[in-house]
Amino acid sequence: MSSSHSSSARGAPAQVPVVLRLLPLVVAVFIGYLVVGLALPVLPLHLSRQLGLGPLAVGALVSSQFAAALLTRAWAGAFADTKGARRAVVGGLLLAAGSGVAYALSQAVAGPQAAVAMLLAGRLLLGAAESLVTTGALSWGVALVGPQHAGKVMAWVGIAMYGAYAAGAPAGVALAGAWGFSCIAGATALLPLVALPVVFALRSTPPAAQQRTPFYRVLGAVWLPGMGLALCSVGFGVITTFAALLFAARGWGAASMVFTAFGLAFMAARLCFGHLPDRLGGARVALACVAVEVLGQGLIWSADGAVQAVVGAALTGFGYSLAFPAFGVEAVRRAPPQARGAAMGAYVAFLDLSLGVVGPAAGSVAAVHGVAAVYLAGAVLVALSLVVALRLLSTGAPARGA
């Protein structure tokens, strides 16, 4: 009896719910990502009104963050695999704080060209930071709870990220309205540092590999679900880059409610249905949720008032919420176990690729056809990810844990 009791006690930690084991990591990611949410409704208007940039330039500068994340994603995945996920997350938070310093310097330099250059530097630093934090958090979470819960890890890390967008957007509007863009810069420099104690309090996991797995091998394993992620991420990209400009052009007031509606719907879908990709399979879930996202994009395109646009943003967020872990589960099942950090980096790189291209491409569409037209283009491109989901469903996937 004593031996049995002792064994039971030793086994108790394994019975801790997955969500509770992930909670400190989720909190750290939320704090770190608040800096992204703060700038979402503020930076495009700052570039347009204060610095005089047109839609194409605004889209390119905002999207430069995602281009930087794309270019650093392979390195971030290898870093997490060989040096440890905690070091990746800590490095990302420090780079995010550095982006706030660059934002602050943009307020101090003379001339709009110098200000744009410093803002570009800040966006590039933030892209590298996002790459390290996201890749490190995903690989750390999978190491903590096991690959059989990969969908839950992606769901909860996503809740932290998009919850930060939802909370940060109205906070950013309020801070910028009261104290200007300088306050956004200061908050961006300080908030990531607040997350560091939470990161250091979480149990570390050993590196997954002694040497780097060639990125092309990992990319070959995850490219198909990655394409699904890239296409369905267009809806998110056109909201983050052009919602503020759409509301300003239509005279609908501040666009912070768009980001809040997107973020709240995103979190609601994750909380209520985040277990479905692990249980039903990613491809099946992707088919349903992408259709909802297409509907949301169509509503924004056809909106004749702010309410319809906000509802469209909520539907976009609800559908996109489950698309990320749905395609992600398919990616993890195809990835080598010793290179899951690199696989997460390769998979999320398709998100970076999508968002990096969407900004300037949609800016070109907006310059010719008006801002609303980018949401029609978004609906068409998101719908193409249904083809990828059908392909994944027809080809199947390796067994769980393979």
pLDDT tens sequence across 28-53: 889 888 888 888 778 888 888 888 88
Tokens of residue 97, six digits: 């704080």
SS (H, E, C) 53-86: CCHHHHHHHHHHHHHHHHHHHHHHHHHHHHHCHH
Q: For the segment 339-348, what is each residue's pLDDT rounded down to a tens digit? A: 666 777 778 7
Q: 3-state DSSP call for residue 156?
A: helix
Residue 370: pLDDT over 70: yes
Q: For the segment 187-205, what is each residue's pLDDT rounded down to a tens digit? A: 999 999 998 998 888 877 7
Q: For the segment 78-129, what is each residue's pLDDT rounded down to a tens digit? A: 888 788 888 999 999 999 999 999 999 998 887 888 999 999 999 999 989 9
Alpha carbon 312 to its chain centroid, in Å, reads 19
Under 8 Å between Cβ of 328 and 321: no
- Distance between CA atoms of residues 121 and 65, nearest Å: 9
Q: What is the pTM of this model?
A: 0.71
Q: What is the pLDDT of residue 116?
A: 92
Domain ranges of the chain: 19-203+210-395
Of 19, 272, 47, the closest CA to residue 157 belongs to: 19
Of 41, 39, 38, the closest CA to residue 256 belongs to: 41
Residue 255: pLDDT over 50: yes
Residue 216 pLDDT grade (very low, low, confident, very high; cuts 50, 70, 90):
low
Q: 3-state DSSP call for residue 40?
A: coil
Tokens of residue 235, six digits: 């809806």
Q: What is the pLDDT of residue 40?
A: 77
Q: What is the pLDDT of residue 400?
A: 39
Looking at per-residue pLDDT, the higher value among 246 and 150 belongs to 246
Q: What is the pLDDT of residue 340?
A: 65
> CATH second-level architecture of 19-203+210-395?
Up-down Bundle (1.20)
Which whole number is the average pLDDT over 164-184?
A: 86
pLDDT above 70 coverage of the chain, percent: 90
Residue 211 pLDDT grade (very low, low, confident, very high; cuts 50, 70, 90):
low
The mean predicted confidence, pLDDT, of the chain is: 83
Looking at per-residue pLDDT, the higher value among 264 and 311 belongs to 311
